[in-house]
Amino acid sequence: MVHTTRIRLDRISSSTRNARLASEVILGDEIVAEEGRILAVRIRNDKSTYNTVEDLTGRMVSLRAGDVLAGTLGSRRALRGYAGVVPDRIATGDTIDVLNLGGILGRCTSANPDIGSPFQAEVLGAILAFPDLGDRVGHPATIRDHAVPPADQLECGIPVVYVAGTCMNAGKTVAATELVRGLTRAGFRVAGAKLTGVSLMRDTLSMLDAGAIAGLTFNDAGAASTSPGMTVAVARGLFNRLAASKTNRPDVIVAELGDGILGEYGVQDVLHDAGLMRLGIAHVMAAPDPVACWGAAELYRTVFGLPIAVMTGPATDNEVGRDYIRKHLGLACHNALRDADGLVGAVKVRLTASAVVDRVDADVSV
């Protein structure tokens, strides 16, 4: 028999947003230990660093001992953050860790010394959903509720600018945001997407703030985090949804690939998929140093068979890195913060050329 409890939430993390939770929820004591399930937990300790959570509006709000948080079960494999997994079994009263700023919950298996140990929390129960009016028996809430469905077929023909990086914090989101801003100012209708990573609204919100007409992430497709084997279907689903709008259809999509091109979030699957890559009119690579630039160029040439249109990131902060990229790799490079116009220009040339080719093809077919 399922025992239920009514409780008020102090914080509702952004990773739960598909479930559309109210501040007062009903908990059940039967917990499904599965990625995407939504739990209520009580924070056990205070922290001086990495001590906030992103709420449903995208604001970073503090977490304190005693706060009741709605979070999402999920895994994380972050080089500069926490690594963690969903435990095999979870019961009320167990201790669980908060693995990221989006409110992903799991068992931490490794921590980065720069951010210390994660928040620990007491499991209070599974948050129940009551999707139909008058329902008396709820089911365990999941972020698959109301999700954009993953797709077996790609029905989107909109050109895509892919923004990837060699690692976390390489400058991908800054580049994506400046591309959205610059292309929007140039008269294009731009949508933003984040295809891989671990749940957080911050990156697509940054693109929306820069002028994107729409923004979707893998979390909107019901994924707490991404992994190999799932990202292609998720990307197809997100692109199909963005392309399906009759009133807000974009001219171009700027798609960020979270984490690194050799990470464990399924970036490689996206880059290997012929259908998704056919949409790509430009590949932007963010890297922190010349060694990373060289490695990215080699991987794109020998493993993915893709051309890098332009390099950006900390490796382009001054002329030392830029000279190396131009002279030794033969690639264009523009710093997203100091030379956003150059970055946008390098992509706009390819977008304009793509539009010309499409018009020629259309004329020939007629």
25, 23, 24, 27: which is closest to 2 by C-alpha? 27
The arithmetic mean of pLDDT across residues 295-322, rounded, is 97
222, 234, 63: which is closest to 141 by C-alpha? 222
Q: Is the pLDDT of residue 358 over 90?
A: no
Query: In this structure, are 288 and 252 located in the same domain?
Result: yes
Name residue 8's amino acid.
R
Residue 319 lies in a domain: yes
Q: Of residues 122 and 134, which shows the higher confidence score? A: 122
Q: What is the number of domains present in the chain?
A: 2
Residue 216 lies in a domain: yes
Q: Is the pLDDT of residue 8 over 60?
A: yes
What local confidence, expressed as pLDDT, does residue 357 receive?
44
Work out whether strand 11-12 and strand 68-73 pair parallel, antiparallel, or are unpaired: parallel
pLDDT (tens digit, 9 = 90+) per residue, 242-297? 999 888 899 999 999 999 999 899 999 999 999 999 999 999 999 999 999 999 99
The domain boundary, picked from 106, 140, 174, lies at: 140
Residue 359 lies in a domain: yes
What local confidence, expressed as pLDDT, does residue 246 receive?
82
User: What count of other Cβ atoms lies within 10 Å of the Cβ of residue 208?
Assistant: 18
Residue 150 lies in a domain: no
Terminal-to-terminal C-alpha distance of the chain: 67
Work out whether strand 83-85 and strand 104-110 pair parallel, antiparallel, or are unpaired: antiparallel
Q: Is the pLDDT of residue 38 over 70?
A: yes
pLDDT (tens digit, 9 = 90+) per residue, 172-186? 999 999 999 999 999
The domain boundary, picked from 76, 105, 140, lies at: 140
Q: Is the pLDDT of residue 135 over 80?
A: no
What local confidence, expressed as pLDDT, does residue 247 receive?
85
Query: In this structure, are 184 and 302 located in the same domain?
Result: yes
CA distance 106 to 120: 10
User: What count of other Cβ atoms lies within 10 Å of the Cβ of residue 139?
Assistant: 14
Please say whether the beta carbons of 115 and 76 come within 8 A.
Answer: no
Residue 155 lies in a domain: no
Please say whether the beta carbons of 210 and 128 come within 8 A.
Answer: no
Q: Is the pLDDT of residue 339 over 80?
A: yes
Burial 256-282 (b: 16+ CB within 10 A, else e): bbbbbbebbbbbbbbbebeebbebbbb
pLDDT (tens digit, 9 = 90+) per residue, 41-51? 999 999 988 99
Q: Is the pLDDT of residue 1 over 70?
A: no
Alpha-helix runs per DSSP H in 54-124: none
Please say whether the beta carbons of 314 and 337 come within 8 A.
Answer: no
Mean pLDDT of the chain: 93
Query: In this structure, are 117 and 196 located in the same domain?
Result: no
Q: Of residues 183 and 81, which shows the higher confidence score? A: 183
Query: In this structure, are 171 and 282 located in the same domain?
Result: yes
Query: In this structure, are 180 and 329 located in the same domain?
Result: yes
What local confidence, expressed as pLDDT, does residue 150 receive?
97
The arithmetic mean of pLDDT across residues 136-144, rounded, is 87
Is residue 80 very low, low, confident or very high in pLDDT (cuts 50, 70, 90)?
confident
Please say whether the beta carbons of 283 and 162 come within 8 A.
Answer: yes
Query: In this structure, are 70 and 206 located in the same domain?
Result: no
Which residues partner with 38 through β-bridges?
Answer: 72
CA distance 330 to 87: 47
Query: In this structure, are 269 and 307 located in the same domain?
Result: yes
Query: In this structure, are 133 and 225 located in the same domain?
Result: no
Query: In this structure, are 26 and 118 located in the same domain?
Result: yes
pLDDT (tens digit, 9 = 90+) per residue, 298-308? 999 999 999 99
What local confidence, expressed as pLDDT, does residue 365 receive?
44
Q: Is the pLDDT of residue 360 over 50?
A: no
Residues in the chain, overall count: 366
Residue 173 lies in a domain: yes
Residues with Cβ within 8 Å of 142's Cβ and at least 6 positions away in sequence, in order, are: 19, 34, 36, 37, 38, 129, 222
Residues of the chain by 3-state class (helix, strand, coil), percent to 5: 30, 25, 45
The domain boundary, picked from 76, 107, 140, lies at: 140
Residue 68 lies in a domain: yes
Report phi then psi at 134, rounded to 5: 90, 0
CA distance 194 to 276: 14
Work out whether strand 76-77 and strand 83-85 pair parallel, antiparallel, or are unpaired: antiparallel
Query: In this structure, are 192 and 125 located in the same domain?
Result: no
Please say whether the beta carbons of 321 and 329 come within 8 A.
Answer: no
Query: In this structure, are 307 and 262 located in the same domain?
Result: yes
Q: Is the pLDDT of residue 54 over 90?
A: yes
CATH number at residue 237: 3.40.50.300
Work out whether strand 120-129 and strand 95-98 pair parallel, antiparallel, or are unpaired: antiparallel
The arithmetic mean of pLDDT across residues 32-39, rounded, is 96
Name residue 190's amino acid.
V
| DSSP one-letter code for 201 | S
Residue 242 lies in a domain: yes
Distances (CA, A) of 15 to 63, 66, 92: 15, 20, 21
The arithmetic mean of pLDDT across residues 120-137, rounded, is 84
The arithmetic mean of pLDDT across residues 211-219, rounded, is 97
Domain of residue 120, residue span: 4-140
Q: Of residues 355 and 167, which shows the higher confidence score? A: 167
What local confidence, expressed as pLDDT, does residue 366 receive?
39
Is residue 131 very low, low, confident or very high in pLDDT (cuts 50, 70, 90)?
confident
Query: In this structure, are 350 and 221 located in the same domain?
Result: yes
What is the pTM (predicted TM-score) of this model?
A: 0.92
